[in-house]
Amino acid sequence: MRTLVTILLLTLVCFLSYSSAYPVAKGMLNRKVCCLKSTQMQVPKGKIADVAMTPSDCEQQAIVVTTVCDKKLCIDHNWIWAKNLLKEFEKSTANNSPPSAPFNVTRCTEKV
Ligand SMILES: *[C@@H]1O[C@H](CO)[C@@H](O)[C@H](O)[C@H]1NC(C)=O
């Protein structure tokens, strides 16, 4: 019985730390998201529909990447790849223009 509880707890801890690279909604009414944890994961630029910093009132800063499937990922904002990505995306969307190539060119297929 005790072993079973331990296994269940370990599974839960594993699951929590695995899923925490996804942002959490802060408040029900706005779409503001914060990140509990960030990850270093390269998302193909064609699959990226949006790149933004988390709002400054989030405890943990991160770069939130939204994919063409509307999935959000928390990426480490100190990681050079992510910093360059944000810069490149901001350049691409200057003057409020929609993201241009290489961004947002792939359509949502495999739910990533
Ligand atoms: C990405 O491209 C699709 C189809 O070309 C378009 O409907 C969508 O609005 C674009 N997303 C953004 C954030 O501009």
Could you report the per-residue pLDDT of 26-40, keeping only the tens digit for each?
A: 555 555 789 999 999
Distance 4 CA to ligand 1 centre (A): 48
- Model confidence at 76, pLDDT cuts 50, 70, 90, reads very high
The tens digit of pLDDT for each residue in 6-23 reads 655 555 554 554 456 787
Give the tokens for residue 81. 């790849």
Lowest mean pLDDT among 11-20, 21-30, 75-84, 93-102: 11-20
Distance 83 CA to ligand 1 centre (A): 23
Res 50: pLDDT: 96
Distance 72 CA to ligand 1 centre (A): 16
Lowest mean pLDDT among 22-31, 57-66, 81-90: 22-31
CA distance 17 to 46: 28
What is the widest separation between alpha-carbon atoms in the chain? Answer: 62
Nearest-CA residue for atom 14 of ligand 1: 98
Examine the pLDDT at 92 and tell me if it is beyond 80.
yes
Neighbours of 85 (CB within 10 A): 20
Res 9: pLDDT: 57
Strands 63-67 and 72-75: antiparallel
Identify the DSSP state of 21. Answer: T
Reported pTM = 0.76
CA distance 94 to 1: 59
- First-to-last C-alpha distance (Å) of the chain: 39
Atom of ligand 1 nearest to the CA of 99: 14
Mention every residue, 6+ apart, whose C-beta is less than 8 A from residue 52. Answer: 63, 64, 66, 86
